[in-house]
Chains A and B, each alone.
Chain A
Amino acid sequence: MIPVFNKRRKHMLAMKAMREGQIPAASPVEVTCPKCQTATARQQLSRNQYVCPNCGHHFPIGAYFRLSLILDSGSFRELDENLTSADPMEFPGYSEKLDQCRQKTGLSEAVVTATGRIEGRKVAVAVLDSRFLMGSMSAAVGEKVTRLIEHATRNRLPVVIFSASGGARMQEGILSLMQMAKTSAALARHSQKGGLFISVLTDPTTGGVTASFASLGDITLAEPGALIGFAGPRVIEQTIGQKLPEGFQRAEYLEEHGFVDQIVPRKQMRAVLAQLLTLHYRGGAAQ
C-alpha cells in the first residue's frame, strides 16, 4: 500500500516540477542566457538544472522544480497547499492579480511548504517562488512559513528555507510587514529549542524577507550570483546619487562581507544540505 502512495506522490511532484520547467518562458525550444547571451535548448537547460552550460548563470526556478532537485524521490508531503491570500485590504485589482498568478504558475501562493527527506533525513522545507508576485511576503506566505517552523519545532525537524523574494506584498500593507515579526519570532522559538535552520538565499532575496527569516539561519548558503540585499539597487542609486559598483549585493559580495557561510552551486546543493544534516544529527533524535 505504501509504495503505491509513494509512487503517486513522486509522480505528483515530478508532474508539478515538469510544468514549471517552462521558465523562463520566452521561447518553447531555446533559452538565451541573460549573462553570456548563449542560446541553449530548453531540454538541455532543464537537464542541467537551469544552470547555463556555458557561463554557469543560475536561472530562477519554480518551487516544485527546486523541491524535485533537493528531496528524496517519493518523500515530498506538501503542507497547507490551499492556504491563500484573502485580500485583507480589499486592494483595487489585487484579487484579479492573484487569480492571474495562480493560473499562470499553478501555485496557490508565493511559497510552497513541505516535509520530505534529504538522503533519508527528514526536513521541513519552504521554497519561495519569484514567479508569484515576485515571491513577495503576504499574510498567507507568513502564515505558511510560520506553520512550517512551528511544525518543525514540535517534531524536532531541521528547517530549510529557500528564499526568493522582492520583499513585502504591497497590496497587503501593514499585515505584510507584521509577517516579518511573526516568522522571526517563530525562528527564535525554534532556535531556543535547539532546532536547526538552514537559510538558502537565491536570486533575488530582498526587502522584508532579507530583513526577517532569510537572514536568521544558523547556516546561511547562497546560490552563485544571487542578488541579496535589503534595499533594491535602484533605490540605493537614487539615494546616494551614484552608480553602484560591479557585483554589489551579489552572493559573492555578501560572502566577502561576512553574511554568508558558503556559496553553493545548484548542482551541489542537495549534497551540501545532506552533509549539514549529518553534521547536526544527534544520535537517535531527528536532527
Chain B
Amino acid sequence: MSNLTPAQRVTIARHEGRPGVADYIEHLFTDFFEQKGDRQCREDPSILGGIALFHGKPVTVIGTRKGKNLQENLKCNFGMPGPEGYRKALRIMKQAEKFGRPILTFIDTPGAYPGLEAEARGQGEAIARNLFEMSQLSVPIVAVITGEGNSGGALALGVADTVLMLENAVYSILSPEGFASILWKDSSRSGEACELMKLTAEDLLEQKVIDAIIPEPEGGAHMDVEAQMAAVDQALTAALNSLQKISDISIAGQRYKKFRAMGGNGYYDGN
C-alpha cells in the first residue's frame, strides 16, 4: 500500500481520468441493457443502471455517473443524483430481486444533489427508502466505492452484503470541504479535515465499514485502466462466489447483522 496522505487520495479519487461506472460496465460486463427512468416523473442520468451479464450470469448493475467531459458532466450533474435517480435505482433493484439477479453497485459521488427541486421531490425520503428496502432484499448485493463516496447520497447505493473499496477511494459522511464548512465555517480547511475524517480505505477497513480493499496501479486507477479492471473483476468474482453460497432466505438476515454492528465501538453503555 503506497504512503499517500488522505488529501492526496482525495485528489486521486477525483481525478478526471478515473474510471467510472460506464467504464466498468464496458470492460467487465457483456450484453448491457440500460434501464432508464423512475416511472414517476424523470430520467436522472447521474445514475446509470441496467441488466448485464457478468461472466455469463445475469446481474443488475447500477452506479453513480459523473460523465467524461464537461457536456456529460453537466448532463449527469457531476454525479450528484436527485431523488429520481435513487428511485430509479430502487426500481431496478426490486426487479433484480424479482428475477433473482445479484446486484452490483459502483459508487463515485460528491453526494446527493442539494437543489430546490431535489428537495421538493423528497431527496431525504428517496435516500431513506433505499436504505430501508436494500436492507431487506433477498439477493446478494456487492458495492464498490470506486472514487469518492460522500454522504447519504453514496450510502443510498451502499447497503450491501460486501462493500469493496479501491485503494485510493474515499468514503465519508460528507466531502472534506463540506465537513470543514460545517465544523469550522471554513471550507478552505478541507486538507485539515481529510486528516481527521478517517476516510481512506485502510481507515474504513479497520472500522469494519468495508470488507476488502482493491489494489490500484501506482499513481491511481487512471494510470493503468486495464490493470484496474482486472483487479476489480477478481474482487467482484470472489465476493459474488462467496455470497452465492448463502441462501436467499438468510442473506437479508446476515446483511442486517452486518449493519446492526456498525458503530459498536462508538458508544459506551453505562447501563
Contact = CB atoms under 8 A, between A and B. Distances in A.
Contact of B116 (A85, A179, A244): A244
Contacts of A115: none
A158 B119 CA distance: 29
A177 B179 contact: no
B199 interface: yes
Contact of A178 (B121, B124, B255, B262): B262
Contact of A84 (B124, B209, B267): B267
Nearest to B122: A259
Interface in A172-187: 172-182, 184-187
A188 B122 contact: no
Interface string A80-93: 11111110110110
Given A215-B125, A229-B124, A259-B125, A172 B266 contact: yes
A176 B269 CA distance: 17
A208 B155 CA distance: 11
Contact of A215 (B118, B122, B266): B122
Interface string B118-141: 111111110111011101100000
A61 interface: no
Given A182-B260, A240-B116, A177 B128 contact: no
A180 B128 CA distance: 8
Given A83-B267, A170-B173, A174-B172, A184 B132 contact: yes
Interface in A190-225: 191-192, 207-208, 210-216
A152 interface: no
Contact of A211 (B121, B123, B198, B271): B123
A68 B13 CA distance: 50
B131 A181 contact: yes
Given A168-B174, A215-B128, A143 B155 contact: no
Given A86-B266, A174-B204, A181 B159 contact: yes
B263 A175 contact: yes
B115 interface: yes
Contact of B196 (A92, A139, A192): A92
Contacts of A188: 132-133, 135-136
A146 B268 CA distance: 15
B270 interface: yes
A146 B269 CA distance: 14
A142 B198 contact: no
A104 interface: no
Interface in A65-104: 80-86, 88-89, 91-92
A230 B119 contact: yes
Interface residues of B, number: 56
B151 interface: yes
B124 A211 contact: yes
Contacts of B262: 139, 175, 178-179, 181-182
B53 to A, nearest CB: 29
B155 A177 contact: yes
Residue of B128, B207, B259, B264 with highest tally of chain A CB at under 10 A: B128
Interface string A136-171: 001110110010000000000000000000001011
Contacts of B173: 168, 170, 173-174, 176-177, 208
A269 B214 CA distance: 51
Interface in B134-165: 135-136, 151-152, 155-156, 158-159
B225 interface: no
Nearest to A206: B124
B136 A192 contact: yes
A251 to B, nearest CB: 13
Nearest to A108: B270
B265 A178 contact: no
A249 interface: yes
A146 B261 CA distance: 11
Contacts of A45: none
A268 interface: no
A2 interface: no
27 contacts: A83-B271, A88-B263, A168-B173, A170-B173, A172-B266, A173-B197, A174-B171, A174-B204, A175-B266, A177-B155, A178-B262, A181-B155, A185-B131, A185-B132, A185-B255, A185-B259, A188-B136, A189-B136, A208-B173, A211-B152, A212-B131, A215-B122, A215-B128, A230-B118, A231-B115, A235-B178, A259-B125
Interface of A: 80-86, 88-89, 91-92, 108, 138-140, 142-143, 146, 168, 170-182, 184-189, 191-192, 207-208, 210-216, 229-232, 235-236, 239-240, 244, 248-249, 253, 257-259
Interface of B: 112-116, 118-125, 127-129, 131-133, 135-136, 151-152, 155-156, 158-159, 171-174, 178-179, 182-183, 196-199, 204, 207, 209, 255-256, 259-260, 262-271
Given A83-B268, A180-B152, A208-B173, 17 more contacts: A80-B271, A82-B269, A88-B263, A139-B262, A140-B268, A168-B174, A170-B183, A173-B197, A174-B197, A174-B198, A175-B262, A188-B133, A189-B136, A212-B128, A230-B127, A253-B120, A259-B122
